[in-house]
Amino acid sequence: MYMLNGSQSGDYSLIIPSVSQRHTGEYVCKTTVRRITIQRIVLWVCIKTSPVNVMFSHGESVLMDAHVNESFLGWVQWYRQRGLHPLMLITQPYDNGFSHIFGISDVHMPEDLMGRVTVSSFSTSVIISNLTAEDSGVYTWRVIMRDTREAVCYEGSFRLVYRGPFGVHSLVYRAAVLGCVLLGLVAAVIWVKLRSRKGEQTSGHQSREGQQSGDEDLYDDVEVAEDSV
């Protein structure tokens, strides 16, 4: 922000490098004369949970749950981000005494979600029905939990990925892969049986040749014995 300091103006912005949870709090900018408040900002640094990937097909429904303890809820809000577009509020927040901080009164749900979104009583879970490919994106929840000591912000997200009818995640693709695997197994079994049968035939042929050779040797021995007599 730029403020007039006597006859001089300057940049009096507050920059916090490497923001961490300990920087959460209220920041107030006041003038040195008469202590007039110029700017008041409440900074929340949320603890992020691991994102969840959800695959869906056309016409399906998806349940997204924040999995938080509703006994200590102070504020819950859901956002949507598609592509390179910024985060957009998609649900009316659950408020337990924090509306004066965020200054959000009414949230207008995007038209494409109208009639397809069901929100739980504490806004901790959201169901979106009749999904289409256009619903792909990142859905983020932010929750402020408060107890007798302090308030803590948590954040999580669901990444909705459309599963097309012929994509690598589709049932058709999986069925085709499974069919190829089964075909390969059948071919392997047939090959093993043929190899085994060929080995048996070779072994039998060698056995017969050995027997014939033995008979010929025995015949020669008999002839030698008769000549000697």
pLDDT tens column, 151-180: 788 999 999 999 887 555 555 556 666 778
Q: Is 12 helix (H, G, I), strand (E, B) or coil?
A: coil
Residues 54 and 140 occupy one common structural domain: yes
Higher pLDDT, 215 or 189: 189
Residue 219 lies in a domain: no
pLDDT tens column, 42-91: 888 999 999 999 999 999 999 999 988 877 777 888 999 998 888 898 88
In this predicted structure, what is the pLDDT of residue 87? Answer: 86
Residues 123 and 158 occupy one common structural domain: yes
Residues 70 and 158 occupy one common structural domain: yes
Residue 221 pLDDT exceeds 60 = no
In this predicted structure, what is the pLDDT of residue 204? Answer: 56
Q: Please give the average per-residue pLDDT across 13-23, as a whole number.
A: 86
Per the structure, how many domains does the chain have? 3
In this predicted structure, what is the pLDDT of residue 211? Answer: 53
Residues 153 and 51 occupy one common structural domain: yes
DSSP 102: H
The residue written with tokens 């994106």 in the block is 137
Distance from chain centroid for Cα 158: 7
Separation of alpha carbons 211 and 205, rounded Å: 10
Separation of alpha carbons 65 and 68, rounded Å: 8
Residue 225 lies in a domain: no
Determine the straight-line distance between the first and last CA of the chain, rounded to whole angstroms.
132
In this predicted structure, what is the pLDDT of residue 175? Answer: 67
In this predicted structure, what is the pLDDT of residue 185? Answer: 84
SS (H, E, C) 106-173: CCCCCHHHCCCEEECCCCCEEEECCCCHHHCEEEEEEEEEECCCCEEEEEEEEEEEECCCCCCCCHHH
CA-wise closest residue to 175 among 187, 185, 165, 188: 165
The residue written with tokens 């695997």 in the block is 181
Q: Name the token pair of 93.
A: 């927040």
Residue 19 pLDDT exceeds 60 = yes
In this predicted structure, what is the pLDDT of residue 1? Answer: 42
Structural domain of residue 192, as residue ranges? 170-208
**Exposed, middle or buried, 184 (CB in 10 Å: 0-12/13-18/19+)?**
exposed
Q: Is 82 helix (H, G, I), strand (E, B) or coil?
A: coil
Q: Please give the average per-residue pLDDT across 89-101, as a whole number.
A: 70
pLDDT tens column, 108-138: 788 899 999 999 888 889 999 999 999 999 9
DSSP 86: P
CA-wise closest residue to 56 among 142, 117, 134: 134
Residue 132 lies in a domain: yes
Residue 223 lies in a domain: no
In this predicted structure, what is the pLDDT of residue 59? Answer: 94
Residue 87 lies in a domain: yes
> Pairing between strand 151-162 and 47-48?
parallel
The mean pLDDT value of the chain amounts to 77
CA-wise closest residue to 158 among 184, 181, 128, 180: 128
